[in-house]
Amino acid sequence: MRDRPVAGTSAGKAAPGAVPWLWDRPRKASTPRRPGRSGGLPEAVLFDRDGTLVADVPYNGDPARVAPMPTAPAAVAALRRLGVPVGVVSNQSGVARGLLTREQVAAVRRRVDELFGPFDVWAVCPHGPEDGCGCRKPAPGLVLAACERLGAAPERTVVVGDIGSDVRAASAAGARGVLVPTPVTRPEEVAAARETAGDLLAAVRLVCPTGSEAGRGTHPGPTRAPARQRPRATGGAR
């Protein structure tokens, strides 16, 4: 179930303490920022979680139900071979709705890291659409927080997701957004997206042209997401 923004709730005064949850891998203090990589590679690629990296299970707090989307592991592996840091930016309003706990969100995060290898940063918004936070996509807070943790410039960062709020968050942060549509992506979201790709591996080839061979041979061709219609919530889901 997609965690879509509710019309009229993107503005407003943020609730006290409305900040994202962040997890990252320990980095050496001497680890340099990676500006101006040869061939114009991005300084970081940030992925939406549900419906992008893994199948969208509404308000999932069960690690056993985590399943990678087609080509997702190959796409992440290709970026790592190129030396591009990877992160996750995810709305999880189930916390605000009383349907998830922080530990459940963390357990699912650990399972995703087991399946893909540890991501360099996770930025998660636990707030609901009425909380007025600055991190719930399409607001830029998650993207900016992840970039800060990675030492990446937002304008040299790519955000990949499956719904309009993902690419709108990228735009709001000054980053590049790539939409990877699934059967539940709305037609108007596809039409509004500046860049689209058929799957995550195609998205990596789009944003890393000089490293396009990195993912070759790992998959015979573009694969669309499973044609399973997920229910829509009138006020947004995740």
CB within 8 Å of 77: residues ≥ 6 apart: 117, 215, 218
Give me the catalytic one of 3, 24, 50, 56. Answer: 50
Question: Of 3, 48, 166, 199, which one is the catalytic site residue?
Answer: 48
Establish whether the linkage from the previous residue to 126 is cis, with ω within 30° of 0.
Answer: no
Q: Which amino acid is at 159?
A: V
In Å, how far from its chain's centre is CA 171?
A: 14
Token pair recorded at residue 109: 């995060």
Q: Say how far apart CA 177 and CA 36 lie, in whole Å.
A: 19
Smallest CA-to-CA distance from 121 within 169, 78, 166, 88 is with: 88
Active site residue 131: no
Is 3 among the catalytic positions? no
Beta strands (DSSP E) in the chain are: 21-24, 44-47, 86-91, 121-125, 157-161, 176-179
Catalytic residues: 48, 50
